[in-house]
Structure 1
Amino acid sequence: MSRQVALLRGINVGGNRKFPMARQRELFAALGHEDVTVLLQTGNVVFADPGIPPQETARRIEARIAEDLGFFVPVLVRTRDELAAAVAANPFPQAVAEPKTLHVTFLSEVPADVSPLEALDSDAYAPDRLRLVGRELYLWCPGGIGRSKLAEAVSRARLGVTATARNWNTVTKLLALADA
């Protein structure tokens, strides 16, 4: 069975935009999605592919969340194959041994203007590294993301697209769920 993965941006963070896991499952089921699994509190939902393009799935989920909860939550959806391709495209395979140091920022589309990223002097942020591969932005912070000046600079970069980040542990768990 083919699967899709929804990545909800900015829920259950700092007590804001509360959307409990059980409610996430209910909402996805109410939309007609089957075989729904929620991973963690922060908006990672794996479900049977509804047979519509991921962008349309995302729009429907966003609209239902706004209707039911009264606030807007950006949603990005990837197919199982798109998620597998993002895992395979990891430009920092050495980071896999310490998965908490590797983060993937999923983008709604390839940015039309990548100059904000190109303007970052990567050598100034060593050993941290950044690489944009299609609609995924990989950030490797060997010393941890919390202390990373590169992570801070990237968060300020305006790419003109919707983005949401997940650590490598979460990304690979989502792929395992999509393969189950």
Structure 2
Amino acid sequence: MSTQRQIALLRGVNVGRAKRIAMADLRKVLGDLGFTNVRTLLNSGNAVFDCAARDAALSAVRIEETLVLKLGVPARVTVLDAQQLAEVVAANPLVDVAADPARLMVAVLSNPAHRAKLEPLAHQQWQPEAFALGRWAAYIWCADGVLASRAAAAVGNLLGDAVTTRNWSTMSKLHALAMES
């Protein structure tokens, strides 16, 4: 049976007081779903796991449902496979622009079709910020911080919970974790 390495990004988990999930509980939930080699990164709802290739397409929905049923936590889940994550990391055109990886945000699309909604943003002027659009994600350089970012706010306004954002440091760590055997 072939397996596929996947990366789950839970939206809004462990940010503030709402939607609290211990990473040990998340690992258990994923293990109970039959996923193997489950590892979490940080305390913010990032997980890398292996699943049967035949189950890969439904993993986000299964995780979302199980989080509610087992932990009582509703959270949108975006899942990329290892190849998609590698493409997100390799395609980032703003790496050389960003002076601080904590302010370089990657907005991962839960549905690649939503990319079309963001295309007008790629043609706007954002200085001192920067915005770029990839196949699976948008890249946002938040020069004055995430909370002050007009580009990040625009992405959130257009997509709501159909996007989840991680900083470049986290994405780089997830990519390294996903590449481990």
Q: Which of the five TM-score ranges fits, normalised by the shorter chain?
A: 0.7 to 0.9
Could you say which residue in structure 1 is the equivalent of 2:135? 134
TM-score by length of 1: 0.87
Cα 1:117–1:157, aligned 2, differ >3 Å: closer, same or farther? farther
The answer on whether the counterparts of 1:55 and 1:76 sit within 8 Å (CA) in structure 2 is: no
Code of the residue aligned with 1:152 in structure 2: it is A
Unaligned runs of 5+ in 1: none
TM-score by length of 2: 0.87
Code of the residue aligned with 1:165 in structure 2: it is T
User: Is 1:7 the counterpart of 2:13 in the alignment?
Assistant: no
Q: How does 1:62-81 map to 2 (within 5 A)?
A: 62-81=64-83
Of residues 20, 23, 26, the one that matches 1:21 is 23
Unaligned runs of 5+ in 2: none
Moved over 4 A (4+): none
The answer on whether the counterparts of 2:156 and 2:163 sit within 8 Å (CA) in structure 1 is: no
Q: Cα distance, 1:49 vs. partner?
A: 3.3
Q: Cα distance, 1:121 vs. partner?
A: 6.9
The answer on whether the counterparts of 2:130 and 2:142 sit within 8 Å (CA) in structure 1 is: yes
The answer on whether the counterparts of 1:95 and 1:102 sit within 8 Å (CA) in structure 2 is: no
The answer on whether the counterparts of 1:54 and 1:78 sit within 8 Å (CA) in structure 2 is: no
Cα RMSD, aligned residues only = 2.3
Q: Cα distance, 1:42 vs. partner?
A: 1.1
Q: Cα distance, 1:143 vs. partner?
A: 2.8
- SS for the counterpart of 2:83 is helix
The answer on whether the counterparts of 2:133 and 2:139 sit within 8 Å (CA) in structure 1 is: yes
Give aligned-pair identity as a percent. Answer: 35
